[in-house]
């Protein structure tokens, strides 16, 4: 009688038991990695939006002639002159909106997603510095004081009217670039022979 090759019932039970332990662990690991990847992609998107908000906000404040806080204090209004205004407003759904108006007409509307954060706008007493602080929302129901909020978040500040110049613009210069001092060419040194 010839002996046939194969697996015994005990060997099959051992393999099935090991797989019953390994497969749920592998599934849990894949689920954890997918969730972590999704959260990191969301955080990256929010960070990029905050970076874009920072650049746009500072550029707008530097170009403004004056700034004021609206009645609800949930944003700021930048006056650029000739009935041209830019309004920043903190929305309750995790966005900061930017509305560019010329008179009553809306020229442009943008929203910056800041995620689970609480933006607060502030204007210095002299009205020269405008700032927005983006702080994480606290879990407690008690509101955080301003000193704690400014330490715990990202503060974006800019000086009003920094880019406005008294003199004529330099030809070929981009708006917002600092003026460069003009240099007079110096004549080349001539070599002397002894």
Domain presence at residue 191: no
How do residues 126-149 score in pLDDT, each as one tens digit? Answer: 778 988 888 877 665 445 454 444
How do residues 98-121 score in pLDDT, each as one tens digit? Answer: 999 988 888 999 998 887 788 888
Domain presence at residue 28: no
How many CA atoms lie within 13 Å of 97's alpha carbon, on the beta-carbon side?
13
User: In this structure, what are the phi and psi dihedrals at residue 104, rounded to the nearest 5 degrees?
Assistant: -95, -10
d(CA 64, CA 75): 15
Name the residue with tokens 């849990």: 28
Where would I find the H helices in 64-171? 146-152
3-state secondary structure of 153: coil
d(CA 131, CA 158): 6
pLDDT given for residue 174 in this prediction? 41
Domain presence at residue 62: yes
List beta partners, residue 117: 136
> What is the value of pTM for the model shown?
0.63
Name the residue with tokens 């909020």: 149
Task: Compute the residue count for the chain.
Answer: 194
CB-based burial of residue 95 (10 Å sphere; 0-12 exposed, 13-18 middle, 19+ buried)? middle
Domain presence at residue 76: yes
Give the highest mean pLDDT range of 4-8, 79-83, 107-111: 107-111
Domain count, the chain: 1
Domain presence at residue 142: yes
Domain span including residue 104: 40-159
How do residues 9-45 score in pLDDT, each as one tens digit? Answer: 999 999 999 999 999 999 999 999 999 999 999 888 8
d(CA 160, CA 130): 7
3-state secondary structure of 147: helix
Domain presence at residue 9: no
3-state secondary structure of 63: helix
Domain presence at residue 154: yes
């Amino acid at each position: 009688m010839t002996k046939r090759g194969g697996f015994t019932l005990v060997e099959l039970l051992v393999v099935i038991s090991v797989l019953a332990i390994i497969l749920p662990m592998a599934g849990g690991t894949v689920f954890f990695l997918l969730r972590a990847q999704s959260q990191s992609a969301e955080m990256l998107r929010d960070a990029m939006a905050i970076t874009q908000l920072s650049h746009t906000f500072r550029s707008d404040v530097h170009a403004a002639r004056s700034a004021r806080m609206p009645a609800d204090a949930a944003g700021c209004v930048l006056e650029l002159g000739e009935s041209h205004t830019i309004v920043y407003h903190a929305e309750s759904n995790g966005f900061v909106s930017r509305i560019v108006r010329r008179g009553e007409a809306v020229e442009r509307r943008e929203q910056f997603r800041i995620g689970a954060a609480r933006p607060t706008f502030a204007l210095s007493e002299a009205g020269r510095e405008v700032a927005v602080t983006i702080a994480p929302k606290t879990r407690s129901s008690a509101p955080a004081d301003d000193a704690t909020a400014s330490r715990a978040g990202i503060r974006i500040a800019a000086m009003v009217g920094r880019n406005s110049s008294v003199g004529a613009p330099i030809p070929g210069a981009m708006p917002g670039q600092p003026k460069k001092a003009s240099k007079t060419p110096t004549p080349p040194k001539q070599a002397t022979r002894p």
